[in-house]
Amino acid sequence: MNRVAIVDYATTKFRKLTDKSVYELACEPAMEILRSSIIPANKIEGLLFSSCSNDLYTGAIASEMLDINPKITCRIDNLCNSGTVALSAAYSYISSGLCDSILVIGAELRNSPGSKLIWDVSRGQFTSPIYWASVFAKMHMREYGTTEEDMGVIAVKNRSLAKNNPNAMFNKSISLEEVLDSRKLVEPIKLLDCGALCSGAASVLLVSEDVARTLDVQPVWIDGIGQQTNCASVAHAIPGIFKNGSSKLAATHAYKMAKLNPSDIQVAEIHDAFTIMEIMAFEDLGFAKTGKGASYALDGEIAVNPRGGILGSGHPIGATGVAQVCEIVCQLRHEAGIRQVGTSNVGLVHNLAAAGTSATIMILRS
Amino acid sequence: MRRFMKQLKNGMLVVSYCTACQKKIWPPYEHCPSCYRRTSTVAAGKFGKIVEFSKSWLEEEKVIVALIDMDGILMLGSVLEGRRIAVGEAVELIATGATPEGKIYFCFRTLDRFDSYTMNK
């Protein structure tokens, strides 16, 4: 199996409004990568497009717009988990030898249909993700004593980190009081406990080891991937969510593949569409023991969500996973400027979809 | 799913049922995910219990939202305010259906002692 390296990355400014189409938005970070000419467009062998938009044939259209004639192109939709699923597909194409280089693009407009899963009738009238998130939060509070303050701390941390990310949607710190006093939405979730849907795009260039050796850039290697789909509905997701959820199983696969333990991770991007999700992820990823996620936010050793996570950066659904990978590559190449956290060389990306029914973990190393 | 929606529009909650596996299938589909035989439908019953609940302040859904367990069938539904609402409390499905826009709903109420007694009978 060929090793796979990430050799370039780019992210647009995440914003509420754009007059661009999803195709045009997707080209923004892709053109930034292609302009730097690490590999000319006509040598790129694959293009994978991650999005939940209704627009069709996105892979072929983006390829035409960027003057790429890929051997392999397709669009990947896996709701919030789309970007990281596209990355693992790109890894598989390259490691199998079908392609030597793939451009992955994630792009989404704010009004994407990807925030709701209409198929899931077990959600009843409560189709928005905030309802299952509120159930998770209430269950975590009841079972482990997690408090609204514990969740608020996550929002304060990630908003503060986003200040140093010029592409983040939010660039102002908030206080714990502001989080706790923000508009009540669905108990115990308040406005500032939620990530905001937005428009944005991100792109990553992956190549085989043979190609990476010929390039004059620092490669970041994909050493581990774990992907797990447990189910699709809230009805099936909730039993056992704290014990054997998809994140926990995916993390086990990824650590095994990378031959690493949670304690080896130095920096991580974690899916935090709601504050409770980051607390649950600390436990699923083995950073904290089950039920102890809340205290990890205060005294954890691993730098988590240096770009500000979803809470600080915004959530362009199909682009989020790609943007998370961009950040970890940036951190592992020590190119993050004022938001650089130490001299990390091992990082992790965690992303999930639809009430944690599926999840992807990637372990990267420079 | 077609049969489920048809019944739901008549105010009836049904789930898929595999006679071979003797298993209810929820969310409902036309085949059994274990043996792939065609499913029939059965009434979901009227009673369940609250697994978790929370209060929604959102303008469009200003209700108590609860995760309800109806004998292994889990769903998010609304629970009428006024009686004791707590984890483990028994509830009765009092209304279900779909709006003309296609929004489906499950509405429950909590039971008092007398109701639970009747239910157990």
Specify burial of residue B112 (Cβ count, 10 A radius: 0-12, 13-18, 19+).
exposed
Shared-domain flag, residues B37 and B55:
no
- CB A162, CB A307: distance < 8 Å: yes
Nearest chain B alpha carbon to A142: B52
Upstream peptide bond of B27 is cis (omega within 30 degrees of 0) = yes
Shared-domain flag, residues B87 and B104:
yes
Partner-chain contact A187 B87, CB within 8 Å: no
The per-residue pLDDT of chain B, averaged, comes to 89
CB atoms within 10 A of CB B57: 15
Partner-chain contact A238 B65, CB within 8 Å: no
Distance from CA of A118 to the nearest CA of B (A): 9
Cα separation, A287 vs B11, whole angstroms = 47
| Closest Cβ–Cβ partner in A123, A125, A186 for B54 | A186
Q: Does residue B62 surpass a pLDDT of 90?
A: no
Shared-domain flag, residues B27 and B50:
no
Helix/strand/coil for B30: coil
pLDDT tier at A242, thresholds 50, 70, 90:
very high
Shared-domain flag, residues B58 and B20:
no
- What's the pLDDT at B121? 39
- Number of domain units in chain B: 2
pLDDT in tens, A305-318: 999 999 999 999 99
Instruction: Say what the pTM is.
Output: 0.95
Domain with B100, as residue range(s), is: 45-121
Q: Does residue B120 surpass a pLDDT of 60?
A: no
Shared-domain flag, residues B10 and B59:
no
Distance from CA of B43 to the nearest CA of A (A): 15
Shared-domain flag, residues B54 and B2:
no
Shared-domain flag, residues B38 and B62:
no
Partner-chain contact A119 B27, CB within 8 Å: yes
Shared-domain flag, residues B36 and B54:
no
Residue A123 CA to chain centroid, in angstroms? Answer: 24
Specify burial of residue A142 (Cβ count, 10 A radius: 0-12, 13-18, 19+).
exposed
Partner-chain contact A187 B55, CB within 8 Å: yes
Residues of chain A with C-beta less than 8 angstroms from the C-beta of B28: 121
- What's the pLDDT at B114? 53
Shared-domain flag, residues B61 and B104:
yes
Partner-chain contact A121 B4, CB within 8 Å: yes
Distance from CA of B76 to the nearest CA of A (A): 5
CATH code, B64: 2.40.50
Shared-domain flag, residues B58 and B22:
no
Partner-chain contact A126 B61, CB within 8 Å: yes
Shared-domain flag, residues B72 and B110:
yes
Partner-chain contact A239 B54, CB within 8 Å: no
Q: Which CATH number fits domain A4-113+197-214: 3.40.50.1980, 3.50.50.60, 3.40.47.10, 3.30.420.40?
A: 3.40.47.10
Q: Does residue B111 surpass a pLDDT of 90?
A: no
A234 touches chain B (CB under 8 A): yes
* Count of A-B CB contacts under 8 Å: 83
pLDDT in tens, A278-336: 999 999 999 999 999 999 988 888 999 999 999 999 999 999 999 999 999 999 999 99
Q: Does residue A352 surpass a pLDDT of 70?
A: yes
pLDDT in tens, A172-222: 999 999 999 999 999 999 999 999 999 999 999 999 999 999 999 999 999
- What's the pLDDT at B117? 47
Closest by CA position to A247, among listed A362, A104, A113, A93: A362
The encoded tokens of residue B111 equal 């039971």
Shared-domain flag, residues B51 and B34:
no
pLDDT in tens, A47-66: 999 999 999 999 999 999 99
State the first-to-last Cα distance of chain B, in angstroms, to the nearest integer. Answer: 32
A329 touches chain B (CB under 8 A): no
Given the cut 0.90, state whether the ipTM is greater than it: yes
Partner-chain contact A121 B61, CB within 8 Å: no
pLDDT in tens, A28-39: 999 999 998 789
The per-residue pLDDT of chain A, averaged, comes to 96
Lowest average pLDDT, out of A7-16, A58-67, A228-237, B4-13, goes to B4-13
